[in-house]
Structure 1
Amino acid sequence: MNDAYGMLSAGTTLRTERGEEITVRGLLGSGGQGEVYEVTTAAGPQALKWYFPQLADAQRWRILETLVDRSWGDDRFLWPRTIVSDPALNSFGYVMGLRPARFHDLPALLRRDPAVAGATPRSLITTALNTVEAYRTLHAQGIAYRDISWGNVFFDPLTGDVLVCDNDNAVVEGEFAGIAGTMNFMAPELVRAEPGAQPSIQTDLHSLAVLLFFLLMNHHPFDGAEELRIHCMDEQAQRKLYGFDPVFIYDPARTRNRPVPGEQDTVIATWGALPRTLRDLFVRTFTEGLASPARRIVESEWRDALSAVRDAIVPCGTCGKQNLTDPGDTAPTCWYCSRTVDLPLRLELSCGTGRRRTRRDLRLVQHAQVHGHHLEEDPERHDFSDPIGEVTAHPTVAGRLGLTNRSTTAWRMRRPDGTELEVPPGRTAALRPGVLLELGDGAEAVVRER
C-alpha cells in the first residue's frame, strides 16, 4: 500500500448502502477521478474507490446505482458491489474486489517492467483473446464501456488472464455519462466532437482495436512518421493525429505515415512477425473503420482470429522461441533467429451439425491442448484451465507424439487402414496423418499433413 496520505485516513469507518461497516486500511493509488483504498469488510479485504468531491455528483450516483443493481458476477471485471457515502466527507464511492498481485497494467510491457518479463507470444495472444471476450460479454448486455484504454485492463503475463477495472465508466447504451474516453484511444468521430457523436458500443470497437494493437505491437496504430514531425504533442496536435487526420501506419493506400526506420524499429519488426490473419483485421478496422464506423471489426471476428492464431503457435526448432503462424499458411521465418520454422502436423477439429460444420486447426506441438471450446460452434468463453486432450511425447521414441485423453469419456480412434480401437481417459492415441478421433457429441479430429 501507498504510504502517502489521501482523502481518507487509515482507520476511518464508513457504512455502505447495504448497512455494512467497512474500515479504511490504506491508500492503494489515485487517478483522474479519485483514490482507491484497501478496506476491511465482513467479507474480507476489498477495494474502495472514493471520488474527488467535485466529481461526486448526482449523475455519477445514478450510474453507480444502475451498475450495482446489475450484480454482475463475471470474474473478469472488478464490478461495483455497493455504494459507500458519508455526507460529512462531501463525497462517496463504491466497493469492489481487490486486484490480485499477479495482475499488472498493460503499460508495463512498454516500460519493459521486470514484473512482466515472463510474458510470451502465447500469453499475449491469450490476453488479447480474453480481453475481446470480456468486452463482448459486456456489450452483449447492452453496456458501453466508454473508456477502453491502457489504464483499465490488467493482465497476468504468465497465463493471459485479464481483469477489467474502473467499471464505473460503463453505462447502458444510449445513456449520457459525460465520459468521452482517453484521447489516443477514442474513436475519431469523438475526437472531432462531431454533432450527435457519443461514446457507444460502436466507438468501443475502435478503442478495443487500438488496445489490441498496443498489446501486440507495443505501439499506437497512428504514431508513424507524422507523429515524429510533431514538435509539441499538445491537445491540438493530438486531435489532428487521432481525430481530424488519422492515418494507419500500415494503410496500404496512404503511405505517408509509415514507421520510420531507426526511430520506430520495434513496431516494424513486430508487424513483420504478426500473422496475416491479424494484420488484415487491423488494416480493415483502421482504414474502412475510420471512414465508416459500421465496418469496424466486431468482437466475434477478433475472437475467432486470435483463437486460430493461438492454436497455430509453433516453437522454432533452432532457438525455441514461440512464433505466431497463420493457420494453413506456409512456414514462417523465426522472428528471433531468422531460420525457417518447421511446421508440425495439424489436428483438424470439426463440430456442430448440418452442412456447415465448424472447423478449427491445432498445430501438434508438444503440450498443445484440446479444450472444450474447440468442440463448440460458437463458444461464449475460451477456458484454458481444463484441457480434454494434450499432445505428449512418446516415452521411448524421440520425436514421436501422441494425443493423451484428458477427458472423462472414451474416444474412438480409426487408423488409415480402417482398424478401430478405443482410447479411454488417460490413454494416448498415436498421431499419424489420416488418424481420425471421435471425441463425442459428433465432434471429430483428423490428423493432417503440414
Structure 2
Amino acid sequence: MALKLNEHISNNTKLYTLGGEPVTILNLISEEGGQGDVYKVSWRGKEFALKWYNRYETDVVGENQYSTILKLTQRPNPEPRLFIWPQAIVTETGRAEKGDMFGYVMQLIPAEHYEMKHYLRSDGDPKQKKFDTFHAMIWAGMHIVTAVRALHLTGLSYKDLNPGNIAIHPVTGKAVMVDCDNISVDNDPCTVNGMRGYMAPEIVRSNFSVTPNIQTDQFSLAIILFRLFYMDHPMEGKLWEKFPMITEQVEDELYCRHPLYNMNSQDDRNRPTENYAPNVKKRMALLPKILMEGFEQTFVNGIDHITGRTPENRWLQILSSARDQLVFLDPKCKTDRVVRFDKKETIPRGCLKLTVSKRLNHEVALYPMQSLFKDVVSGDRKDYTVRIGRVSVLQGSLVMQNLSGGVWKVYSPIDRKINPVQNEEWFKVMPETQIQFDEVHNIVGKVDDPRR
C-alpha cells in the first residue's frame, strides 16, 4: 500500500535503500518536524534514525530536496563526531522514480543529548534543560563552532542554523548537528531561507532573493552562540516595547531590516528590559567578558558588512580564552566560576595565572582540576580537545603534570635552574615559574600571582 502525505508508517514496515537494503521501521521518534517524521529503524543489523518526508508534495524524488540529500549521501561526513550525516536515501521500493516519497537514514542522536531549544525554555517549563556548569556551556559553543568551521572548509554551508538543529549534552557540553538535510555547496540554490530570528539581515532585506551562504551562516552562528550563553535574543530589547503586538512583519523589521544589537557599545537605545532579554546582563556578570568581543564584531560591524562578521577561527580563539578563565571550585567538578584577573574578588585564594608567550598572549587560570589544552600552545584551533597538562594540589602547593607526550623545560625560581620534565611527570608551579612547551617555536608560559 502506497504511503501518503501526513500519514505515519506502521511499525515493522520494510522500506529499502537505493541499493536494495531493507530498512525496518521500529517506532516513531518524533512527528514535530516541519518537513516530516523521524523513526527509529533497523538497518544493517543496527539501530538508526530515518527522516521520512511526508509534509509537502514537492519533497519527493526528482525535486530539489531529494537532489540535495542525494549529494550529501555521496559526500564524506566533514566531522563525524559532530554531524549526524545523511547516509542513504530510502524509498518504499528501493527505486527512485520521479514523484516517489522518500527519506534518509542517519545515526541516532547520542543518549542524553537534548535539542538546544530546550536549554532556552523558561524556568518552570517541564521540558527545560540546564547546563551543569559554565564549562559545559563553553564546550558546547566550541563544538558548534568547530562543526560549522569544518563544513565551511569543505565549501559547504549549513543554510538553516537554529536551536532545533543542535543537540547538546548538559554535563559534558558535547554537541552534534542533527538536521543536516539542507546543507549544500555554498551559493547553490536551496529550499530554505532559514528560521525567523536566525536569518541574516541581507536575506530578508533582499526579499529573500539572497541565497543562504557561508556569510549568512556566520551571522546565524553568532545568534546561536549568544542565545547559548545569554539565553535571550541579541536584537531584542527596549525598542520592542513600542509594538503592542509582535507580528512576523515586526520581527522582520527588528531582527533583520533595522536590527539594533541590545549590547551595542555605540548605541544604547535597545538595551535589555524586564520583558525583552531579561537574562542577558545577569549572564554577562557570570561569564567571561571576552565573549562579547565576537558579538560586537558581528552584530555591530557585521550587520551591513558581511565580511565584518566574526569568523569561526576567531570564535574558537575567543572560546578557548573563555574556557581557560573558568575554574572548578570542588574536586567533583560540579561548581565553577569565571576568574577575571582584573578583579581580585573573582580570583580564588591560591589561583595563579599562566600567560603563554607574547605571540599567543593566552591567559590560563591555574587552579586544582584545571586542564591545559594543546590549542593554547600550538595555536591550531583543531587541537582544542587535546589535553596536554593538568593542575592539582600537593601539600598546599599547586603542581602540574605534563601530558603532552614530549619533554617540557621548566625554570624553577627555587633553585633557579631549567629542568627537563618528562611526559606524565609532575612539577611544582609558583610565581616566576617558566615552562617551555615547544622548543622549536619557543612557546613559553610564564606564571605569576594575579592577586599581587
Q: When the two structures are superposed, what TM-score results if normalisation uses the length of structure 1?
A: 0.87
Q: Which amino acid aligns with 1:213?
A: F
Q: Deviations over 1:146-174 (max 9, x none)?
A: 11111101111111111001101111012
CA change 1:254–1:377 in 2 (3 A) is closer
Partner of 2:66: 61
Report SS of the residue matched to 2:210. Answer: coil
User: Which residues in structure 2 correspond to 1:164-183 (within 5 Å)?
Assistant: 164-183=177-196
Q: Is the 8 A contact 1:190 1:198 kept in 2?
A: yes
Partner of 2:433: 435
CA change 1:194–1:439 in 2 (3 A) is same
Which of 278-287 and 408-417 deviates more? Answer: 408-417
Q: Which runs of 5+ in 2 are unaligned?
A: 1-5
| Cα distance between partner residues in 1 of 2:418 and 2:276 | 60
| Cα distance between partner residues in 2 of 1:74 and 1:99 | 13
Partner of 2:87: 81
CA change 1:193–1:263 in 2 (3 A) is closer
Q: Is the 8 A contact 2:18 2:90 kept in 1?
A: yes
Partner of 1:46: 48
Q: Report deviation, 1:360.
A: 2.5
Partner of 1:70: 75
User: Which residues in structure 2 correspond to 1:202-217 (within 5 Å)?
Assistant: 202-217=215-230
Q: Report deviation, 1:343.
A: 7.8
Q: Which amino acid aligns with 1:389?
A: G
Q: Deviations over 1:22-78 (max 9, x none)?
A: 100011112101111000011400000001252423211111121111121522000
CA change 1:117–1:236 in 2 (3 A) is closer
Alignment pair present for 1:24 and 2:37: no
Q: Which runs of 5+ in 1 are unaligned?
A: 335-339, 351-355
Which of 31-40 and 60-69 deviates more? Answer: 60-69
Partner of 2:3: none
| Aligned residue-pair number | 427
CA change 1:226–1:341 in 2 (3 A) is farther
| Cα distance between partner residues in 1 of 2:35 and 2:411 | 61
Q: Report deviation, 1:427.
A: 2.7
Q: Deviations over 1:362-417 (max 9, x none)?
A: 21011111223233222324215xx22110110xx23x110022344443322134
Which of 257-266 and 109-118 deviates more? Answer: 109-118
Report SS of the residue matched to 1:290. Answer: coil
Partner of 1:348: 355
CA change 1:375–1:253 in 2 (3 A) is closer
Partner of 2:375: 373
CA change 1:378–1:283 in 2 (3 A) is same
Q: Is the 8 A contact 1:133 1:381 kept in 2?
A: no
| Cα distance between partner residues in 2 of 1:276 and 1:425 | 34
Alignment pair present for 1:140 and 2:153: yes
Identity %: 28
Alignment pair present for 1:446 and 2:452: no
CA change 1:38–1:341 in 2 (3 A) is same
Q: Which amino acid aligns with 1:221?
A: P
Alignment pair present for 1:94 and 2:104: yes
Q: Is the 8 A contact 1:6 1:27 kept in 2?
A: no
Q: Report deviation, 1:316.
A: 6.9
Q: Is the 8 A contact 2:82 2:175 kept in 1?
A: yes
| Cα distance between partner residues in 1 of 2:28 and 2:51 | 10
Q: Identify the match of residue 33 of structure 1 among 28, 32, 35.
A: 35
Q: When the two structures are superposed, what TM-score results if normalisation uses the length of structure 2?
A: 0.87
Report SS of the residue matched to 1:154. Answer: strand
Q: Deviations over 1:158-194 (max 9, x none)?
A: 1111100110111101210121000100011112234
Q: Deviations over 1:405-441 (max 9, x none)?
A: 2344443322134323343333310001222233455
| Cα distance between partner residues in 2 of 1:437 and 1:359 | 14
CA change 1:194–1:56 in 2 (3 A) is closer
Partner of 2:316: 303
CA change 1:316–1:104 in 2 (3 A) is same
Q: Which amino acid aligns with 1:380?
A: K
Partner of 2:301: 288
Q: Which amino acid aligns with 2:292?
A: R
Q: Deviations over 1:303-324 (max 9, x none)?
A: 101101111114579xx95333
Alignment pair present for 1:193 and 2:206: yes
Report SS of the residue matched to 1:18. Answer: coil
Q: Which amino acid aligns with 1:294?
A: T
| Cα distance between partner residues in 2 of 1:440 and 1:254 | 44
Q: Report deviation, 1:358.
A: 3.3
Q: Which amino acid aligns with 2:380?
A: D
Q: Is the 8 A contact 1:412 1:423 kept in 2?
A: yes
Partner of 2:418: 420
Q: Which amino acid aligns with 2:410?
A: M
| Cα distance between partner residues in 2 of 1:206 and 1:267 | 19
Q: Deviations over 1:201-246 (max 9, x none)?
A: 0011110000001000010001112223333222112111112221
Q: Which amino acid aligns with 2:190?
A: A
| Cα distance between partner residues in 2 of 1:421 and 1:23 | 63
| Cα distance between partner residues in 2 of 1:438 and 1:192 | 52
| Cα distance between partner residues in 1 of 2:290 and 2:176 | 26
Q: Report deviation, 1:348.
A: 2.6
Q: Identify the match of residue 360 of structure 2 among 358, 377, 385.
A: 358
Report SS of the residue matched to 2:41. Answer: strand
